[in-house]
Amino acid sequence: MDTMQSKIADILHDAISTKQRLAGHTESIEWSARLLIDALAKGHKVLVCGNGGSAADAQHMAGELVGRFQKNRRGLPCVALTTDTSILTACANDFGYEEVFARQVEAIGAADDVLVGISTSGNSANVIKAFEAAASAGMKRVALTGNDGGHVAQMDGVLSIVVPSCSTQRIQEGHLTIIHVLCELVEDALFGN
């Protein structure tokens, strides 16, 4: 095999073994699914945030819940806090980048809504601040992280799903799979198998 192909194979094998290790972490995924199902069944909403690739993951999750995943059913309330450039630029400019999600949580988060914060390191300041704001609002909190879970995994009341890898890319790929698992479980629970 030439060197590029062997690198490709190495990356794919790393991705596969990360998913295999993740399959040993089904408990935290189940608890998160139950939390989302309970909130959505009672008419509460989901807010999602993250930076870079995780911002794309946040939008992906909102798209699945508001639009559709596998079933034709009513839209479920989920807002990605990464999309409104006027809000993001105003908050970053006036209060600092670490406040861009917290301010939106303060503005639209309500008791028993769920905040899903996505951070491969678990250490992004704006995601940490969003969890603090969510706690103040009486919201439920779920973190998708990696590495050792970082700061967010140490926060009181945050339910963490930690992808067992130290590679940002592999962690992000794990997050997308987790998001799909959560959406499938939510749809099954609320709209039947």
Ligand X SMILES: O=C(CO)[C@@H](O)[C@H](O)[C@H](O)[C@H](O)COP(=O)(O)O
Interface with Zn ion by CB under 5 A: which residues? 53
Q: Judged by CB under 6 A, which of 82, 120, 160, 165 binds ligand X?
A: 120
Q: How far is the CB of 110 from Zn ion (least distance, A)?
A: 32
**The one among 25, 30, 34, 52 contacting ligand X by CB under 6 A:** 52
Phi, psi of 141 (to 5 degrees): -135, 130
Quick check: 124 binds ligand X (CB under 6 A)? yes
**Tokens linked to 184:** 């499938």
Residue selected from 29, 44, 46, 54 as contacting ligand X according to rule CB under 6 A: 54
Residue 147 contact among ligand X, Zn ion, none, beta carbon within 5 to 8 Å by kind: none
Least distance (Å) from Zn ion to the CB of residue 80?
16
| DSSP label at residue 159 | E
Q: What is the maximum alpha-carbon separation in the chain?
A: 56
We find the least distance from the C-beta atom of residue 169 to Zn ion, in angstroms, to be 6
If phi over 0 gives left and psi between -120 and 50 gives alpha, with beta otherwise, what is residue 43?
Answer: left
- Residue closest to 113 by CA, chosen among 30, 35, 34: 35
Does 169 engage in binding with ligand X (CB under 6 A)? Answer: yes
CB of 102 to ligand X, least distance (A): 15
Both structure tokens of 150 = 């970082």
Judge whether 172 and 57 are in contact, CB under 8 Å: yes
- Under the criterion CB under 6 A, does residue 77 sit at the interface with ligand X? no
Q: Does an H or E element contain 140, and which?
A: strand 140-145
User: Contact residues for ligand X (CB under 6 A)?
Assistant: 51-54, 119-121, 124, 127, 168-169, 172
